Amino acid sequence: MPMTLKSSRQIELLREAGSLVRATFELLREHIRPGITTAELDAIAEEFICSHGAEPVYKGYVPAGRRGWAKIPPFPGTICASVNDVICHGIPNKKDRLRQGDIIGVDIGLRLNGWIGDACETFPVGEVDDATQHLLTTAHRCLELGIAQAQLGNTLGDIGAAIQRHAEAEGFSVVREYTGHGLGRNLHEEPTVLHYGDPGTGRKLIEGMVFTIEPMINAGKADTRLDRDGWTVRTADGKRSAQFEHTLAITTEGTLLLTE
Ligand code: MF3
Ligand code: CO
């Protein structure tokens, strides 16, 4: 998908979709406790999204590069539910029951009145150990530092560099294979937003750009492994991974968070 610049009216519609994503997180937050399954969380999210006149966008999604690979089914869930060593794209499952001390990344994408909202948050299940809390705090801070660089006149490389620098300073690593992306009427548009890189490189940020920043931060090495289901992405070393994502818009009045 090419990059399309959005008008202020279109950004307002994207913000409405983003607000519904946020409301879905607030609902799920109440349910994320030891004992609940990821399939139950998925059903709660789907019911809420549909009852607000929106539709899930991950459900039935086939990545552009994979169209025609008969073997990999479309994504089956409303949410991605990524527990512990799952980096992203975890499939909600009746057998996946949350336990005290786990972490779960919940990624939500929906379409409202034709426009997409997309965000991700990683939640602790009850109390987590100190190392896990450090991972969560760092991953969240990486997103904040990336957003702080998302200013008119800066480049995409400024965003990636800020994220990589902080993650590595804390002893963690940044996943390379999965990236942020432009969005609008489509879930995935240009540009591709890397969560690593060098300041001053890459595309310049201009008015009307709308994209996600969604760093995946690994406690151990950056390497990933894809499960045989064709979706679930895990850390190769089995250590934990955490992700936070916002959708944002670059405007002359500043950068707007659309999923807040
Ligand atoms: N936030 C992720 C992304 O936009 C989630 C995609 S899940 C999928 O890349 F099922 F749509 F692939
Ligand atoms: Co996304």
Instruction: Encode pLDDT of 233-253 as tens digits.
Output: 999 999 999 999 999 999 999
Neighbouring CB atoms inside 10 A of 35's CB total 10
Among 70, 152, 142, 140, which residue's Cα sits nearest to residue 105? 140
Residue 214 annotated in ligand binding: yes
Flag whether 2 is in a domain: no
Query: What domain range is 38 assigned to?
Result: 8-257
pLDDT category of residue 70 using cuts at 50, 70 and 90: low
> How high is the pLDDT of residue 65?
72
Q: How many domains are contained in the chain?
A: 1
Q: Is residue 3 part of a domain?
A: no
21: which 2 tokens? 């994503």
Does residue 237 form part of some domain? yes
1 belongs to a structural domain = no
CATH code (residue 171): 3.90.230.10
Tell me which residue has its CA closest to atom 6 in ligand 1: 58
Atom of ligand 1 nearest to the CA of 120: 1
CB of 75 sitting under 6 A from ligand 1: yes
Global model pTM greater than 0.95: yes
**Is position 62 within any domain?**
yes
**Does the C-beta of 21 come closer than 6 Å to ligand 1?**
no
Say whether 160 sits in a helix, a strand or coil.
Answer: helix
- Tell me: pLDDT of 2 over 80: no
Residue 115, beta-bridge partner list: 112
| Overall residue count recorded for the chain in this entry | 260
Q: Which of 35-49, 62-76, 197-211 is the least confident region?
A: 62-76
Q: How far is CA 25 from CA 32, 73, 189, in A?
A: 10, 26, 24
Q: 245 among the known binding-site residues?
A: yes
pLDDT at 222 over 70: yes
Asked whether residue 37 is assigned to any structural domain, the reply reads yes
Give yes or no for a contact between 149 and 158, defined as CB atoms under 8 angstroms apart.
Answer: yes
Question: What is the H or E stretch that residue 24 is in?
Answer: helix 8-31
Q: Report whether 249 contacts 255 (CB < 8 A).
A: yes
55 belongs to an annotated ligand binding site: no
Rounded to whole angstroms, the Cα distance separating 18 from 16 reads 5
Q: How far is the CA of 172 from the centre of ligand 1 (A)?
A: 23
- Compute the distance from residue 221 Cα to the ligand 1 centre, in Å: 22
- Please report whether residue 18 resides in a domain: yes
Residue 156 lies in a domain: yes
